[in-house]
Amino acid sequence: MIVPDSADVTTDVTAELLRYAEACRTAIPAYLPADGVTPYLRTPVADYLARPGKGLRPALCLATCEAFGGAVADAIPSAVAIELLHTAFLVHDDLADGSELRRGQPTLHERYGAALALNAGDALGVYAMSALEDNRAGLGGSLAGQIAAEFEFMARQTVDGQALDLGWRIDNRLDIGPDDYLELIMRKTCWYTTILPLRVGAITGSRGRADVEPMIRFGFLLGAAFQIQDDILNLTASGGAYGKEPLGDLLEGKRTLMLIHVLAAMSPADRNRIEGFLAAPRASRGREDAIWVAARMEALGSIAFAKAFAAGIASDAATAFAAAFAGVGETSAKAFVRSMIPFMVERTW
Amino acid sequence: MIVPDSADVTTDVTAELLRYAEACRTAIPAYLPADGVTPYLRTPVADYLARPGKGLRPALCLATCEAFGGAVADAIPSAVAIELLHTAFLVHDDLADGSELRRGQPTLHERYGAALALNAGDALGVYAMSALEDNRAGLGGSLAGQIAAEFEFMARQTVDGQALDLGWRIDNRLDIGPDDYLELIMRKTCWYTTILPLRVGAITGSRGRADVEPMIRFGFLLGAAFQIQDDILNLTASGGAYGKEPLGDLLEGKRTLMLIHVLAAMSPADRNRIEGFLAAPRASRGREDAIWVAARMEALGSIAFAKAFAAGIASDAATAFAAAFAGVGETSAKAFVRSMIPFMVERTW
């Protein structure tokens, strides 16, 4: 790991993360439906937002805006738009995956039914666009247009990545390698989780003067570290702060580094069993089988492999960070973004 | 009816409708995903678009743009955005309603599964935003911003109306009256089907100089006439050009004018039976029961009631049209929009 005293840094990161996330969270209600809108929409739309998430995406955007010379307030509409879109993706992903838990409570479709959840996800996307519209007043039409184009490009990547993720599972593809996995999470996770927040933060803070090209590489590495740790936590975390269904990824047949590794490492007999597990419909995959797959992953070093992989990516991310933030001075905002690198792979929630 | 020789007008309308719709249809592929995007996205996204719809919404937008002094080309990005959003709504509505047929073929979720259909609907919304972005180059940032704000407001109405429609069915509300129905379709149908295309067409054609306030009343009446006829066709149309599942609205428990009327008009015993039908889950509602409900609607004059209701609305729409288009000269484009009024209630597809 790059940062020597990671324990201290992590403590700081958590407090700063909370501060940035809170700045976004308090701005969100102004963009949600008010009186005159049916509770069949208002209630499900507000539900996930009332369950505290980490706020990683808005925090990255707001801190990067500050690091590039702007004020937190300058990037609030974009940060709100990111968080609302993220929430929209969560709602639709949970529905598509048949997930049961989100942030420690039943998923939206479990609570309100698939139809109202689907519509609430659509609405969250609409409200995100409303937030983006506010950039026009705050930053002028030209910069607002540039940011809107960033969002549009990102959204295209996200739906493409989501389709790939679903398609691989539907077709039960077993020929996926680590490169395929990285390509998938580049599209599905990194663009919206890290690359866009970083780029939009830098564009906003520098009023369009920063070269945001190097943010793609840094964002990719940061986002990949985040996603691999996310996948690991789904296997290893339990109870408490971890709000998703443990082993849910296995039950949903998600292609992860651990799955790729274990498929390559296991005996033919075991491989037959796991292939049968993956070929079965989601509803008939048993939890005992998932526990067995997780145990094989542990025994065959698949989790250690993924951890080492993530550590290597985090190390590369530190170099990429230096390039992407080379043009700006050392501020606490810049330090916060840097400290997100170890945070991504060390977090337990 | 207002137009005396409706047979002739309908013939003209159909040809003009086709011409406008075609101008939009040929522009759409440029906004769809190209090489490098997974077929798990490309294929479902293109599916509904390859099934020819009426193209009412883009036609209204393009003709209104012409009527207000613009060229068809000026409004193409907005017309494309409307058609893509309409397609996105169809995909998600079909999924939410569990519908089986769309334009004579299996619905998207029937063909590709719920998850890929859901994601394709999301993607269509994203591509609609991309089309809108092109207004910036064609019309300038200020007008493009005004049009984007129109879309945003419209989308808020649509998700609100969709939630209301779903919520009434989920809670099996039986206390819905004609006014509630009109409020519902104002939000769910009229804003995106008629009001937005008319307003955006007028804004674009007049380069922002037209007073588009009167378009709300005209669009509401035109859209209501469209929706009531749509509901009637679901009861009375069969085979051929009609591409939806006959009686699908009844099987889905949709609140229509005919349902409102028949609930009020039928005997207590019959009302008990229909309430049982509506209280049952979608999957256990039988087609025989739906046929029985449709027969009661026919016998008790519910369909005649809805037809008379639509005719009254079409008559009011003619007056509202005169007010909304008072400022522009008599052109074939204006005549086309006027002729859409009888078309809405006389169409059989």
Within 8 A by CB and 6+ apart from B203, the residues are B143, B146, B147, B150, B210, B212
What are the backbone angles phi and psi of residue B68, rounded to the nearest 5°?
-95, 20
**Range in A160-169, A328-337, B252-261, B274-283 with the lowest mean pLDDT:** B274-283
C-alpha radius of gyration, chain A, whole number: 20
Q: Roughly what angle, to the nearest 10 degrees, separates helices A287-299 and A268-279?
A: 140
Name the strand (E) or helix (H) holding B339.
helix B332-346
Structure tokens at B305: 């009631």
pLDDT of residue B240: 63
Report the b/e string of B163-177 with b at 16+ CB within 10 A.
bbbbbbbeeeeeebe
Q: Which residues of A touch B118 (CB under 8 A)?
A: 92, 95-96, 118
Contact assessment for residue B97 and residue A118, using Cβ atoms and an 8 Å cutoff: no
Structure tokens at B337: 């929009």
Structure confidence at residue B34 as a pLDDT band (50, 70, 90): confident
Contact (CB<8Å) B155/A113: no
Q: Which residues of B touch A118 (CB under 8 A)?
A: 92, 95-96, 118
Superfamily of domain B6-346: Farnesyl Diphosphate Synthase (1.10.600.10)
pLDDT of residue A139: 96
What percent of chain B is predicted at pLDDT more than 90?
A: 86
Report the alpha-carbon distance of residue B345 to residue A195 in Å, rounded: 50
Q: How many helices (H) and strands (E) does chain B have?
A: 16, 2
Residue among B38, B96, B152 minimizing CB distance to A115: B96
Nearest chain A residue to B157, by CA: A37
pLDDT of residue B348: 86
Q: ipTM of the assembly? A: 0.93
Q: Is A102 helix (H, G, I), strand (E, B) or coil?
A: strand
Nearest chain A residue to B114, by CA: A96
Interface of A with B (CB under 8 A): 33, 37-41, 92, 95-97, 113-116, 118-123, 125-127, 129-130, 133, 136, 141-142, 145, 148-149, 152, 155-156, 159-160, 162-164, 166-167, 170
Report the alpha-carbon distance of residue B35 to residue B37 in Å, rounded: 5
Residue position matching structure tokens 């990429």: A320
Instruction: Find the DSSP H helices in A280-331.
Output: 287-299, 302-324
Contact (CB<8Å) A162/B119: yes
DSSP symbols for B139-178: H-HHHHHHHHHHHHHHHHHHHHHHHHHHHHHHTT-----H
Instruction: Find the DSSP H helices in chain A.
Output: 6-25, 39-49, 56-67, 76-97, 108-112, 114-139, 141-170, 178-185, 196-205, 214-236, 248-251, 257-265, 268-279, 287-299, 302-324, 332-346
pLDDT tens figures, B182-239: 999 999 999 999 999 999 999 999 999 999 999 999 999 999 999 999 999 999 887 6
Task: Report the greatest alpha carbon distance in chain B.
Answer: 63
Q: Which residues of A touch B125 (CB under 8 A)?
A: 122, 125
Give me the count of residues in chain B.
349
Contact (CB<8Å) A122/B92: yes
Instruction: Round to the nearest angstrom and report the end-to-end CA distance of chain A.
Output: 19
Contact (CB<8Å) B126/A156: yes
pLDDT of residue B4: 42
pLDDT of residue B243: 74
Q: Is A261 helix (H, G, I), strand (E, B) or coil?
A: helix
Residue position matching structure tokens 């879109």: A85
pLDDT of residue A9: 45
Contact assessment for residue A200 and residue A132, using Cβ atoms and an 8 Å cutoff: no
Report the b/e string of A320-348 with b at 16+ CB within 10 A.
bbeebbeebeeeebbbbbbbbbbbbbbbe
Name the strand (E) or helix (H) holding B42.
helix B39-49
Structure confidence at residue B6 as a pLDDT band (50, 70, 90): very low
**pLDDT tens for each residue of chain A, 349 residues long:** 344 444 444 458 899 999 999 999 999 999 998 888 999 999 999 999 999 789 999 999 999 999 999 999 999 999 999 999 999 999 999 999 999 999 999 999 999 999 999 999 999 999 999 999 999 999 998 999 999 999 999 999 999 999 999 999 999 999 999 999 999 999 999 999 999 999 999 999 999 999 999 999 999 999 999 999 999 999 988 766 677 788 889 998 999 999 999 999 999 999 999 999 999 888 888 889 999 999 999 999 999 999 999 999 999 999 999 999 999 999 999 999 999 999 999 998 7
What are the backbone angles phi and psi of residue A101, rounded to the nearest 5°?
-125, 145
pLDDT of residue B239: 61
Contact assessment for residue B58 and residue B197, using Cβ atoms and an 8 Å cutoff: yes
pLDDT of residue B9: 45
Contact (CB<8Å) B41/A125: no
Contact (CB<8Å) B116/A141: no
pLDDT of B2 higher than 60: no
Report the alpha-carbon distance of residue A345 to residue A230 in Å, rounded: 9
Per-chain mean pLDDT for chain A: 93
Q: Where are the domains of chain A?
A: 6-346
Q: Which of A108, A147, A162 to mutate to test binding with chain B, by most B CBs within 10 Å of its CB?
A: A162
Contact (CB<8Å) B125/A130: no
pLDDT of B149 higher than 80: yes
Within 8 A by CB and 6+ apart from A154, the residues are A191, A192, A195, A196
C-alpha radius of gyration, chain B, whole number: 20
Give the alpha-carbon dihedral of A327, A79, A182, A243, to 10 degrees. 130
Q: Which of B119, B139, B168 to mutate to test binding with chain A, by most A CBs within 10 Å of its CB?
A: B119
Residue position matching structure tokens 């052109």: B331
How many residue contacts between A and B have a Cβ separation below 8 Å?
A: 134
pLDDT of B150 higher than 50: yes
Contact (CB<8Å) A41/B145: no
- Tell me the residue type at A289: D
Per-chain mean pLDDT for chain B: 93
pTM of the model: 0.93
Q: Which of A31, A32, A35, A41 to mutate to test binding with chain B, by most B CBs within 10 Å of its CB?
A: A41
Beta bridge partners of B106: B101
Residue among A113, A141, A159 minimizing CB distance to B145: A141
Q: Roughly what angle, to the nearest 10 degrees, separates helices B196-205 and B76-97?
A: 170
Give me the count of residues in chain A.
349
Residue among A122, A145, A152 minimizing CB distance to B130: A152
